[in-house]
Amino acid sequence: MSTQAPVKQNQKQSTPVDLFQSELAGMQKQLVSVLPSHITPQRFMRTVMMAINIDKSLLNLNRESLKNAAIKCAADGLLPDGREAAFVKFGGDAVYMPMFAGIQKRIRNSGEIASIEARVIYENDDFLWEQGTESKLSHKPKFPGDRGNMVGAYAIAHFKDGSSPQFEVMSLDEIEKVKESSAGKDKGPWVQWYEEMARKTVFRRLAKWLPIDAEIDDVVQRDNDLYDLNTVSQPAPAQANTQIEQQAPPSKMDALEAEIIDAESDALVRSKSLIAQAKTLDALNKTFQIIQSENLTPEERAITEEMFQHKERELHQNTNQEGALV
């Protein structure tokens, strides 16, 4: 009587997702060293794997870039859940992109800023923006009904001391100029996350005037590769003639916009913070004397001078308003 040997069951082969999960587990000690105390490595790794399972094509990108993106995200104390942060494709690499909600989270937990917001404006919305001795901004989204096409975006910062909010408004043309300056204008987040990039673009311009510390500034500047600004002209005012706009020479704001391609020096971060924190004209003048002793490059001095003038105008405006109430 013949016997038949039992057929061996084929062992289940590991999938690319399984392999990356093993690699991620091997990074646990490194993640522990950079994660803030309120985020456990287990929670962070679960969120990373959720992102991978949602978009498995991330595993086709350079593996080291994906690991580095995870480390940077962990170091900033954000979760890659598509709300606080995300992993996006940039060429053949994975890039960590802090989302606006993630920046909001970081700013709420530190500094002088009570809250920030950035929103997209559509053509059928009721939007009012006035400049002058009393700057105003009002936005009533069209609801219900069709809001139409996107026409711009704005960002607002509210302060804990109750001082007047600061805001920045950009038209769609201005946002497009920033996009067109980027090497990634036809791929990655500018295609997949256009509205998110628009909100972050206007906030990045506003952030130049805000009293944010170096750590928060690092988060804001983290995805510079997605902007890759070489030359970005300061857009002319909305009512300016198109021909004049095309002929306008580069301004100091070119340096302000192009500045985000490089990491800011400690001296520039300190100078920006001092200017933003000045509450009176006298304090601002004293700040200017301090900044003169900082070791700034000519480009950085141009940035601080532009910030100083912006802050001086704001304080003069506040002084005039207070005088009118007396």
Q: Which residue in the block uniquely carries the two structure tokens 């005037």?
A: 209
User: Can you give the pLDDT at residue 135?
Assistant: 86
- 228 has a pLDDT exceeding 90: no
pLDDT of residue 40: 94
Residue range 61-67: mean pLDDT, rounded: 95
Can you tell me the mean pLDDT for 155-167? 91
Q: 118 in a domain, yes or no?
A: yes
Asked if residue 182 and residue 171 are part of one domain, the reply reads: yes
Same domain, 125 and 83: no
| Residues contacting 56, CB < 8 A, separation 6+ | 16, 17
Let me know if residue 78 belongs to a domain.
Answer: yes
Q: Say what the pLDDT of residue 230 is.
A: 42
Average pLDDT of span 31-53 = 95
Contact between 207 and 220 (Cβ < 8 Å) = yes
108 and 94 belong to one structural domain: no
Contact of 216 with 107, CB cutoff 8 Å: yes
Q: Does the residue 150 lie in any domain?
A: yes
Whether the pLDDT of residue 119 is over 60: the answer is: yes
Distance CA 163, CA 17 (A): 50
- Tell which of 98, 116, 135 closes a domain: 98
Same domain, 129 and 166: yes
Of the residues 211, 237, 266, which one is the last residue of a structural domain? 211
C-alpha span between 226 and 179 (Å, rounded): 9
Q: Which of 79-83, 149-153, 201-205, 314-318 has the highest mean pLDDT?
A: 149-153
Find the range with the poorest average confidence among 37-51, 158-172, 307-321: 307-321
Q: What is the pLDDT of residue 324?
A: 54
Q: What is the pLDDT, as a whole number, of residue 90?
A: 84
Instruction: For residues 88 and 226, give the distance between their C-alpha atoms in angstroms, rounded to a whole number.
Output: 10
Does residue 81 share a domain with residue 179? no
Weakest-pLDDT range from 76-85, 154-163, 170-179, 255-264: 255-264
Q: Could you tell me the residue range of the domain that residue 120 belongs to? A: 100-211
Mean pLDDT for the stretch of residues 242-269? 43
Of 5-9, 111-115, 266-270, give the lowest mean pLDDT range. Answer: 5-9
User: Would the pLDDT of 278 be above 60?
Assistant: yes
What is the pLDDT at residue 259? 39
User: Within a domain: residue 133?
Assistant: yes
In a domain, 282, yes or no: no
Q: Considering 98, 126, 157, which residue would you say is the last residue of a domain?
A: 98
Q: What is the spatial distance between Cα 227 and Cα 178, in angstroms, rounded to a whole number?
A: 7
Residues 128 and 167 both lie in one domain: yes
Residues 106, 86 within the same domain = no
158 and 191 fall within a common domain: yes
Question: 67 and 142 share a domain?
Answer: no
Closest CA to 211 of 134, 290, 157, 137: 157
Q: Is residue 266 part of a domain?
A: no
**Mean pLDDT: which of 111-120, 123-132, 271-280, 307-316 is highest?**
123-132
Does the pLDDT value for residue 45 go beyond 80? yes
Question: Which position has the higher pLDDT, 229 or 241?
Answer: 229
Per-residue pLDDT reduced to its tens digit, 89-105: 888 899 899 998 898 88
Q: What pLDDT score does 248 carry?
A: 36
Q: Does any domain span residue 220? A: no
Same domain, 72 and 111: no
**Residue spans of beta strands (DSSP E) within 123-174:** 126-130, 136-140, 150-159, 166-171
DSSP 237-301: PTTS-HHHHHHPPP-HHHHHHHGGGSPPPHHHHHHHHHHHH--SHHHHHHHHHHHHTS---HHHH
209: region left, alpha or beta (phi > 0 left; psi from -120 to 50 alpha)? alpha
Percentage of the chain lying above the pLDDT 90 cut: 40
Q: Which two tokens stand for residue 19?
A: 């392999």
Whole-angstrom Cα Rg for the chain: 24
Structural element, H or E, at residue 118 = strand 113-122
The more confident residue out of 92 and 224 is: 92
Residue 21 confidence (pLDDT) above 70: yes
Backbone dihedral angles phi then psi of residue 50, each to the nearest 5 degrees: -65, -40
* pTM across the whole model: 0.61
Q: String of b and e for 2-20 (b: at least 16 CB within 10 Å)?
A: eeeeeeeeeeeeeeeeeeb
- What the block records as the tokens of 258 is 């192009």
Domain identity same for 93 and 104: no
Shared domain check, 112 and 143: yes
H-helix or E-strand spanning residue 205:
helix 194-207
**299 domain-assigned:** no
Domain count, the chain: 2
pLDDT per position as a tens digit, 289-319: 777 777 777 667 777 777 777 778 777 776 6
**Rounded mean pLDDT of 245-249?**
36
pLDDT at 33 over 90: yes
Residues contacting residue 185 through CB under 8 Å, at least 6 positions apart = 179
Which pLDDT does position 236 carry in this prediction? 33
